[in-house]
Structure 1
């Protein structure tokens, strides 16, 4: 490959690589910043709902059954309501229940006791004494909308071992996923959750300290749907059907379980709309506090940075991959996001929101494909324009018949690229032909001339002067013929066409007159059928005349003496056929396939073969192609040949 060609290729690919690298850096930066923004503002953009949906599905697939009997629920269920009457019950019943739960490590009453009961005013005193006698009872508080605490009745609050708020705060979709373990009131007082109060009463200082070190809001690792904790109906415990020893050293929660009591909420593990009772949500939270297995979420800034990692990974891997592999890598990265989220939640109890990462990675492939393809196509466009300008400089502005319309679609650009590749192949082929012409065809007669001169210098090998001059003349004539044929072929290929309206009848008449003398010397009759009288076409007069002359010259060369060459012009629909028929030796079908190749001569080694360069028919086919015509060969060995040039007619 020539040095300048290598430099052009290096410049082409170097420039394209630089452009693609710039596009990659820009895309990577934009998508990383975009993902960072999505992660930072996911709540404002409404992406939190998608994160919640992904979280619920992943949590449901990672739940593990509760493996602990430390927590017991005494349920105010439908069967208890049937046995004891409509809710609310007399507080004397609660006092009786506390007597049954005396062996419990701590008992939490998950129902409000903030209102007086005028029908049974003495029951409050009874319940207060029972709470005091038990000594390990936790009563609930409520934090209202003004961030004020609603306490139980004063006698009950004073009798309780501790108090804690039981508020739960659903997410935007109404699902309870987390608990706030501590809150600061408007007064500046810090209050604790019901779960923290139970741990304090139970004397579990180690777990209480762990709870105090948790963030203000933590995700609950639900053990499953409703019914995953040991549960006993309120009425059965009150009636003594459940032995008091059942509750020894247990964390006992007493709360509503009935379908009509309203204390039920949606959770991530809710099945077919089945809500979970508030007391069981507390049980899940208490279980997490006892086992310190809360689900943690990293800070917002860390979540944002982690969300960018898959996007960066996808961008890096797509940089050097094919479109098919890039698509597969994108799918694999999306699956990797879910796999990492599942593993972190299952084994590390860490939840990292995935929506921002998914959106970022999903955009990497189409955006990268768009920009890389656009960069490549724009670069190809510039190269095609440069090639087109170069061809215009060579062929002239008038030679535009072989230029396709440049579209902006991918298909149009690919078509242009194919055209450019074809031109490059043709140029490569022409270069090889030129090298062969210079290295073989041109050198052969020159070497013969040099050999003759060397022979002539030796008196023993010198030829007679007449023979010597005749041979020199032959080889020099062959050299001039090769040069002339090669120049004419190059002109036919590259020179601008001077298109004008011309008459084929006149052109063929002039050609026949030119060869009349040489034909007469061999007694060959040139018969020209002058019907029709006019045959108008658009073309270059000089090139078409030379092509016609080449065909007529071949017809005379390959015809025997005392034969006839017939010239005709025939109308063929919207075209004219210029036909030249001889009675020569003919051409076989195999030989016809290579007839128009440059430097190709049929039976070149035959002693009776006429002299020639093998460029005449190559010139003819080139001229005909540039005039948007075709050439037809009809021939059989021993039966002569007919060459027909078909050119589009004009009015």
Structure 2
């Protein structure tokens, strides 16, 4: 299903993933901070906190006892309210045990509700009670104090708890400021008796570290105390809290529990606060600004990980963060007494992952739409590819995937087309990046650099070509930099084999006009240069060597017309004949050399010794004329070679002719046929003047001759060139050894064939 070009092109402006990540990061970090600042996850945090409080449970203190007015006491003593004398008797029994402090968590009626005798007895009992404490209650914003007679004999304290919206009692103000009169909480006042100073942190937000569930702290029935059934040593030196635990009289509060919330009497709550102060089990809570900054930082780190990680790893990180935050909060609470609300981190992590992936998916889809349009514009540049697998009605993403699949097929076809085009070029071509790293190369370049196509990306142009092709007067990296600057370059190169190359570098640009690489073309021009030199040699030969004897003939003819300078007819004819023969010899040598260069070889198996014998038989008359003897040394085994007989016989003959030509009168020429493991060797040695060392490099150059003291010895300078060309065309080589004044040895070395194969 092809997406309409106009529809795709008209989509909103595309943004990069980095841009979208920045937006997501900003939104998530702000949301995480606001979750903390606005306490939006308060209820979730309290669930974790309540579980942590359960983990902090510990054995109750032995020096904190609750004297409870429970259902048993009501049944034994009578219904509440009790007479003042009864309460006074209860206080007297407790005072007799000499406790450290007594906190009375109940409302004392004023004198108008008690008889004068009861009032006097109760006031006296409070006076005798050590460190007696009476609560002040708040009713409609006003303090309700005990009667003056009672208040003067006890410390007035507060017991009003702070109730959260979930009605669970989590913290308390150690110093109440509700009515403008600061009053310590009863538990705090009793702890001061034991020398406990104010705990660290905010006293108005003191988190209660409960000893355990209701009933953990030791209870003693008030009826048992009145009846004297409680041993005095049980109350001696203890912190006693007197209050209600009867089901219909107690002030019940919901307290944290791992299974929800459990009701606890107010007097037992005060006892738990006192135990936490005496145990110094403080729960500290960082400042809300600090919590917000830590949460925002955690989200920033998580989103950085999302940006770098895969989808699967990001999902794992999200769940790990969501679970790890509460676990870490419990660990901090249990080990260090530090409460860090974790659910803002958990909620932010659960929000960040889908939000980021939605923005990432949206950005990718927009990018795919844009690239689909661009790819469809370029499809006409490569051979057509049949679209398969497209779905006419499918998911939005599925359609984009199918469109990309189709266009990838076009890209594969384009890549194959370019690769085959490069391989089809008649010269080496390489593509490199601006810093010189290889991108691709055709087959000729791979062979030239001796590289594997799979390893190209690991090489640079200077390393790849360092030992194979060397630039004249420059190096590869310098040439690349010059080409990138737009300099006109005329580069030539060569290799260790003597090959010659012409090099061209052309930068290419991407769609934005930025240079993204260079194409380097290395063309082997060895054959072209050789042909040029041969043409120059041929022109030189025609213009000089061939014309020289002809000019001499013309000069002789001019002289012959002059009666004063005329030569005898016999001498004149002899000179003209010698010059004509020289012309013919030059022409024949030139034609034979051209034939040796271009002729299709008619190869067959020959015994090298038999060819040598034929050559000796042909040259023997010339040798006898100079009284030169030719000695032949045969090989121990047959030296069989694949050869074009006509060319090889003439090459050996040229060497024999030269040996005869340069040998002195009565000299000796030695012919040898030798074999080695791989080669057959034909050597011709003479005892002539030899060749000077400086002249050896000239021997196989066209139209070049070694210097000879005998000016009567003529030659074209092509004979030895012919021998060398024939040897090389037979996959062999020509060798020469010479000692001045003692002779020279020329050898033709050819690949040998096993005699059995020859049969």
Q: Shared topology, TM-score over 0.5?
A: yes
TM-score band w.r.t. shorter chain: 0.5 to 0.7
**Cα distance, 1:113 vs. partner?**
0.7
Post-superposition Cα deviations, 1:277-303, rounded to whole Å, max 9, x if no partner, equal: 111100011111212222222222112
Aligned match of 1:487: none
1:289 and 1:463 mapped to 2: Cα distance? 115
The answer to whether the aligner puts 1:165 opposite 2:152 as a matched pair is no
Post-superposition Cα deviations, 1:155-205, rounded to whole Å, max 9, x if no partner, equal: 111122x1101111210011111111112255x4322211233234x3x3x
1:71 and 1:182 mapped to 2: Cα distance? 21
What is the aligned counterpart of 2:235 among 224, 236, 247?
Answer: 247
What is the aligned counterpart of 2:87 among 80, 94, 112?
Answer: 94
The aligned runs of 1:115-154 (5 Å cut-off) are 115-116=110-111, 118=113, 120-146=115-141, 148-154=142-148
1:57 and 1:185 mapped to 2: Cα distance? 30
What is the aligned counterpart of 1:434 among 421, 428, 432?
Answer: 421
The answer to whether the aligner puts 1:198 opposite 2:190 as a matched pair is yes
Q: Which has the higher contact order (CA 8 A, sep 6+)?
A: 1
Aligned match of 2:568: none
What is the aligned counterpart of 1:112 among 107, 114, 117?
Answer: 107
**Cα distance, 1:457 vs. partner?**
8.2
**Cα distance, 1:221 vs. partner?**
0.9
Q: Is the 8 A contact 1:65 1:228 kept in 2?
A: no
What is the aligned counterpart of 1:226 among 214, 220, 223?
Answer: 214
1:31 and 1:199 mapped to 2: Cα distance? 45
2:242 and 2:280 mapped to 1: Cα distance? 23
1:33 and 1:374 mapped to 2: Cα distance? 22
Aligned match of 1:180: 173
Distance 1:213 1:307, change over 3 A: closer
What is the aligned counterpart of 1:413 among 396, 400, 406?
Answer: 400
Q: Is the 8 A contact 2:256 2:262 kept in 1?
A: no
1:452 and 1:212 mapped to 2: Cα distance? 101
**Which sits farther off after the overlay, 216-225 or 363-372?**
363-372
2:597 and 2:43 mapped to 1: Cα distance? 105
Aligned match of 2:256: 268
**Cα distance, 1:71 vs. partner?**
0.5
2:242 and 2:598 mapped to 1: Cα distance? 133
**Cα distance, 1:394 vs. partner?**
7.0
**Cα distance, 1:66 vs. partner?**
2.6
Aligned match of 1:367: 355
Q: Is the 8 A contact 1:140 1:163 kept in 2?
A: yes
**Cα distance, 1:37 vs. partner?**
1.2
> 5+ residue gaps in structure 2?
1-13, 428-442, 445-524, 535-590, 601-759
The answer to whether the aligner puts 1:38 opposite 2:25 as a matched pair is no
1:403 and 1:256 mapped to 2: Cα distance? 80
1:180 and 1:225 mapped to 2: Cα distance? 21
1:418 and 1:271 mapped to 2: Cα distance? 56
Secondary structure of 1:267 counterpart: strand
Post-superposition Cα deviations, 1:23-45, rounded to whole Å, max 9, x if no partner, equal: 22222122111111111112xx4
Q: Is the 8 A contact 2:255 2:262 kept in 1?
A: no
1:309 and 1:462 mapped to 2: Cα distance? 82
1:92 and 1:335 mapped to 2: Cα distance? 59
**Cα distance, 1:387 vs. partner?**
1.1
**Cα distance, 1:402 vs. partner?**
8.1
Q: Is the 8 A contact 1:407 1:413 kept in 2?
A: no
What is the aligned counterpart of 1:54 among 48, 53, 57?
Answer: 48
2:387 and 2:61 mapped to 1: Cα distance? 87
Aligned match of 1:624: none
**Cα distance, 1:271 vs. partner?**
5.6
TM-score where L is the length of structure 1: 0.61
The answer to whether the aligner puts 1:386 opposite 2:383 as a matched pair is no
1:460 and 1:302 mapped to 2: Cα distance? 96
The answer to whether the aligner puts 1:20 opposite 2:20 as a matched pair is no
Q: Is the 8 A contact 1:225 1:270 kept in 2?
A: no
Distance 1:273 1:215, change over 3 A: closer
The aligned runs of 1:224-623 (5 Å cut-off) are 224-269=212-257, 274-391=262-379, 409-439=396-426, 458-459=594-595
Distance 1:429 1:350, change over 3 A: same
Post-superposition Cα deviations, 1:333-375, rounded to whole Å, max 9, x if no partner, equal: 1222012201111122121222221111111211221222222
**Cα distance, 1:452 vs. partner?**
13
1:331 and 1:462 mapped to 2: Cα distance? 80
1:403 and 1:385 mapped to 2: Cα distance? 19
**Cα distance, 1:120 vs. partner?**
3.9
Distance 1:362 1:461, change over 3 A: closer
Aligned match of 1:542: none
TM-score where L is the length of structure 2: 0.52
Q: Is the 8 A contact 1:108 1:137 kept in 2?
A: yes
**Cα distance, 1:250 vs. partner?**
0.6
2:365 and 2:424 mapped to 1: Cα distance? 38
**Cα distance, 1:63 vs. partner?**
2.0
Q: Is the 8 A contact 1:225 1:271 kept in 2?
A: no
Q: Is the 8 A contact 1:142 1:151 kept in 2?
A: yes
Distance 1:152 1:409, change over 3 A: same
Post-superposition Cα deviations, 1:82-119, rounded to whole Å, max 9, x if no partner, equal: 11111221121121111221211101111111444646
Post-superposition Cα deviations, 1:487-529, rounded to whole Å, max 9, x if no partner, equal: xxxxxxxxxxxxxxxxxxxxxxxxxxxxxxxxxxxxxxxxxxx
Secondary structure of 1:159 counterpart: coil
Distance 1:118 1:360, change over 3 A: closer
Q: Is the 8 A contact 1:163 1:197 kept in 2?
A: no
